[in-house]
A and B are shown apart, each in its own frame.
Chain A
Amino acid sequence: MSTRRRDELDGVINLCRAVQAGSVEPFAVDIDYMLQVIRRYYPETTSLRDFCTDAKAISGLSTVLGRQNEWIQHQSTTLYKDPFLLNQQLMRMEVGAIADVFLRSWHPLLQMEQLSAATLAGSLAYWTDLIPLAERWREEELQLVDAGTATVEEARALGYIPEEGFAQLMEGFWRELEARTGSGGRIAYWDWIGADTYEETVRRSYLTVFLVSYGYAGIEADRLGETVTIVHNPVPRFDNGQARISVPTLVDYEEWRQWRRE
């Protein structure tokens, strides 16, 4: 494609950009002419660069059409007033009169940047629980100790090794779900994870993440996450071919207390 022709296409692209930026009115552009330019040079398009220029011009043209559509929609709204008339009015009005007109349609917002009793109480609780910097930033003090040995039972007793393998743990958890919901049944999330202690509730919530991720169960949440349900899978679906999504669930202490009360 010759330089002159490419320049002509670049001109089309620049004009479309100007419309997009709002510096040229969308209807000031002659769409038919621009289409003619693109069509005229299309048979001469051979290189990748030419194809890209062509695609940019077509994309720009579609943006102009989009802006024309928006313009028509804007004109059909109650907000539309002839821009020329509006500008003339603004030019005619004194600064004070413009301010008066604005003040009548202005409803300033009220909001205070100030502590409430609740945030103050929350902050105090946070402060109380906050570990002093001296402790948090304390450098690790290494101690030289003699190496020793421990049996598997001892390591298990110390909590370094789980009582059973993870796979068995999942299987057991899955069977518990089946026992509570029946095969293929469903249960509300909090009824499933809720336990007598908060620690156990968090543990069950943690295990449920794996139960769902490994296909032993499904999770259903409404759009706003108000109700979350766990669904038992009679046969584990290790990969059901569906897109994986994350469903964040908050296991809040206050929520646990409320669940306990109910």
Chain B
Amino acid sequence: MAKRVRSEAGYARKAKEAVHLLFFQHHRLPGVRGWELRQELGPDWLSVLEVLDKQLQPLDLQVTRVLDDPNIVEPDQAQLADARFYVTMRGGIDQRSAKIIGWRVDDIAGLAVAIAFIISKQGKTPRVNVEKMLQEKLPGWRVKMSVDRYIQQGYLGEDDKGVLYLDWRSRAEVDQKQLIDLIVAFGKKPTESGPVVAPGEKEDD
């Protein structure tokens, strides 16, 4: 059977539908499952998302995909159907913008340390260890409150044994590899392989 090719106008219409699905929250948690997108957008839903991603590029936005199993590199159709799709910012943001959206520098740094620490512990570690690590740089009374906030916002999860792990939001929003690479490279001299961050210096500057 010949494959149906969607016209440009057809793609534009479907991209609009995809915007409605991805921008408005439909469930308790943000994001839309692949199978929901396929149901609404048709069999070429992945092409529609590709078109939308290109359209969002000038606005510094992107369509992000988060698989249930983060170790999968090349997902098959069934895994894509189970994946969750979001719209996120394409580039990073600066501290001023972060403040505007309600984040203190302390909170951001605390979240960074918690995520990096959990990654270094294979994705889970007791809460007391994370709190101990955070207490090195943040006042004790803030630490517990911050960890509770990260859990409430979906960045960290805590099981009934008090073990912390990275929750859906960290997987959707944080480029974990980039974060770890930047931390490890911090303060090192630039090499031929590329620039590294120096203390107090920002790449965008």
Contact status A106-B186, CB under 8 Å: no
Q: Which of A78, A98, A107, A116 has the most CB of B within 10 A?
A: A107
Query: Across the interface, which residues of B come within 8 angstroms of A112, CB to CB?
Result: 23-25
Question: Which single member of B86, B199, B202 contacts A111 (CB below 8 Å)?
Answer: B86
Contact with A along B76-106 (1 / 0, CB 8 A): 0010010000111111111100100100011
Contact status A109-B173, CB under 8 Å: yes
Question: Given contacts A87-B120, A96-B109, are A107 and B88 in contact (CB under 8 A)?
Answer: yes
Contact status A107-B175, CB under 8 Å: yes
Nearest A residue to B179, CB-CB: A105
Contact with B along A57-90 (1 / 0, CB 8 A): 0000000000100110010011101010111011
Query: Across the interface, which residues of B come within 8 angstroms of A87, CB to CB?
Result: 117, 120, 133
A145 interface contact, C-beta 8 A: no
Query: Across the interface, which residues of B come within 8 angstroms of A97, CB to CB?
Result: 186, 197, 199-200
Query: Across the interface, which residues of B come within 8 angstroms of A245, CB to CB?
Result: none
B168-203 contacts to A, CB under 8 A, are: 169, 172-184, 186-187, 197, 199-200, 202-203
Contact status A91-B136, CB under 8 Å: yes
* Minimum CB–CB distance for A114 against chain B, Å: 6
A235 interface contact, C-beta 8 A: no
* Minimum CB–CB distance for B45 against chain A, Å: 12
What's the Cα separation between A97 and B138 when bound, in Å? 14
**Interface-lining segment among B1-9, B122-130, B144-152:** B122-130
Query: Across the interface, which residues of B come within 8 angstroms of A113, CB to CB?
Result: 24-25
Query: Across the interface, which residues of A come within 8 angstroms of B88, CB to CB?
Result: 107-110
A223 interface contact, C-beta 8 A: yes
Nearest B residue to A18, CB-CB: B126
Nearest B residue to A98, CB-CB: B109
A144 interface contact, C-beta 8 A: no
What's the Cα separation between A98 and B111 when bound, in Å? 9
What's the Cα separation between A193 and B20 when bound, in Å? 32
Question: Which single member of B87, B111, B163, B178 contacts A109 (CB below 8 Å)?
Answer: B87
Contact status A101-B93, CB under 8 Å: no
Question: Given contacts A78-B177, A96-B105, A97-B200, are A116 and B120 in contact (CB under 8 A)?
Answer: no
Query: Across the interface, which residues of A come within 8 angstroms of B109, CB to CB?
Result: 95-96, 98-99, 102
Question: Which single member of A71, A92, A100, A223 contacts B187 (CB below 8 Å)?
Answer: A92
Nearest B residue to A26, CB-CB: B122
17 pairs, A vs B, C-beta closer than 8 Å: A22-B126, A79-B177, A81-B184, A87-B117, A90-B133, A93-B187, A95-B106, A104-B182, A108-B101, A109-B31, A109-B64, A109-B172, A110-B89, A111-B23, A111-B25, A111-B30, A112-B24
Q: Chain B residues in contact with chain A, CB under 8 A?
A: 20, 22-25, 30-31, 35, 38, 61-62, 64, 71, 78, 81, 86-95, 98, 101, 105-106, 108-109, 111-113, 115-117, 119-126, 129, 133, 136-138, 161, 163, 169, 172-184, 186-187, 197, 199-200, 202-203
User: Other than the known A95-B105, A105-B182, what 12 A-B pairs have Cβ atoms closer than 8 Å?
Assistant: A83-B121, A86-B183, A90-B133, A95-B138, A96-B105, A98-B108, A101-B182, A102-B112, A104-B182, A107-B175, A112-B24, A224-B81
